[in-house]
A and B are shown apart, each in its own frame.
Chain A
């Protein structure tokens, strides 16, 4: 009986947990079939998510980077940024829609300009690391074993064959075609690894939810370790 009295939503803490459980079960009711209960909570979810984002957007960004610098510190030139950004909101207008593209152009231009740095510090070190792999045993790298040399050859062979598969500039024939087929098989290993990990992630999310139902709501204590 103790468990049951504790289980009921009689304190604010328990009531909060019950609210969370009702939300969860409402969403799960979709698994049985589409129903008004689910639709209600689905719309509530979208409304809450959209409403919540205004807090961080307004306070963390607009207050921090616009209101405080102008009104508190007196940097008046910032005043022009928000009206300029507001051009974005003309996107819904048929007549003035093109004006929003000026601001979109600013964002796109900036990310395109930034990409050069990304290219040099994200992709080039990977090329460097590939080219630096030792392919024979020598006095220059005494720690390298025969197995390491094999693994390095395999690494480069896989890389080249997959890149061959990605090459569409000319018709693939003969050796190139066979390399490309091999590349496709290796690509499947990569995709298999991604698939296995994806299943693991999705299961973890469901387990997290079931843990909440069991541990927090039904108070079945599930220990770790």
Chain B
């Protein structure tokens, strides 16, 4: 067998070594006491400004469609946004199109709201799970109480003080879509034009949404966990966003170094082979 060159050995490195390296990198930079301040990106600033414009008692619909698979991205976003909404004294209701997100968002909201003294039924409510968001939105625009019928606790919508006098989605001021899937186009397409839409996607979905930001179809956006860090910074709170965003930074450095290393090794191997020929 021909002896391997150093470049060949580099290119055929055991993948488990790579996995370990990534794991160690993240552990190190999560534990390390390095905390860098984020620069607030314009979409996050717009998001913040839109919520600042709300008046106490305004009504916000939170479309929470994430499950545990994107917990690390969507949980810091939702927590930060809920904190801001409660600070402004606005009322909010949840709806989920994913079965798991029904319980995850309900449990998370119960924890966050009870810590802030927000009362279920009076200041917030959860509408539970609906599998078809499109017709649910169309139904809510037409007649909200008979579309939703009852909340997760089985209380008829008409009897919830938080929705006193609410007939339609038109009575809401804002929709906040916290999601890992393509639900924001559905809100854009079927909700009333006067409803302002804010977007909390996982980072995967963020690049595609810049066209909606440009056209004003969405008014602001928090991109994944790093966006949550920016939002926490604007609110002046300590959440999960900051340690996550720091560790993300250094994992990116590691990946970039390894992409360059991989390309360098391939280049050197090719030069070596050409010389051999």
Contacts and interface: CB of A to CB of B under 8 A. Distances in A.
Interface of A: 31-32, 49, 52-53, 55-57, 60-61, 64-65, 68, 110-111, 114, 117-118, 121-122, 125-126, 128-130, 190, 193-194, 196-201, 203-211, 214, 220, 222-225
Contacts of B134: 111, 114
A209 B240 CA distance: 12
B211 A207 contact: no
Contacts of A110: 135
A212 B242 CA distance: 15
A168 to B, nearest CB: 22
Contact of A206 (B22, B31, B204, B223): B22
A203 B251 contact: yes
Contacts of A117: 189-190
Contact of A129 (B152, B214, B223, B225): B214
Which applies to chain A's interface (DSSP): helix, strand, loop or mixed? helix
A141 B42 CA distance: 23
A200 B226 contact: yes
Nearest to A194: B207
Closest 5 CB pairs of A and B: A208-B72, A129-B215, A201-B203, A224-B238, A118-B189
B244 interface: yes
Nearest to A69: B149
B73 interface: yes
Contacts of A198: 203-204
B266 interface: no
B23 A118 contact: no
Contacts of B16: 31-32
B220 interface: no
B30 A197 contact: no
B215 A204 contact: no
Contacts of B206: 197
B149 A68 contact: yes
Given A56-B99, A225-B232, 11 more contacts: A56-B129, A60-B128, A60-B129, A111-B134, A125-B216, A129-B215, A196-B207, A201-B70, A204-B224, A209-B72, A224-B242
Contacts of B211: 126
B150 interface: yes
| B130, B202, B207: most-surrounded residue (chain A CB, <10 A) | B207
Contacts of A210: 23, 26-27, 30, 247
Interface in B189-243: 189-190, 193, 202-204, 206-208, 211-212, 214-217, 223-226, 232, 238-243
21 contacts: A55-B99, A56-B99, A64-B128, A114-B135, A118-B186, A118-B189, A196-B207, A197-B206, A198-B204, A200-B248, A201-B73, A204-B248, A205-B72, A206-B26, A208-B72, A208-B240, A208-B244, A214-B31, A224-B239, A224-B240, A224-B242
| B31, B75, B232, B238: most-surrounded residue (chain A CB, <10 A) | B31
A121 B72 contact: no
Contact of B149 (A65, A111, A206, A208): A65
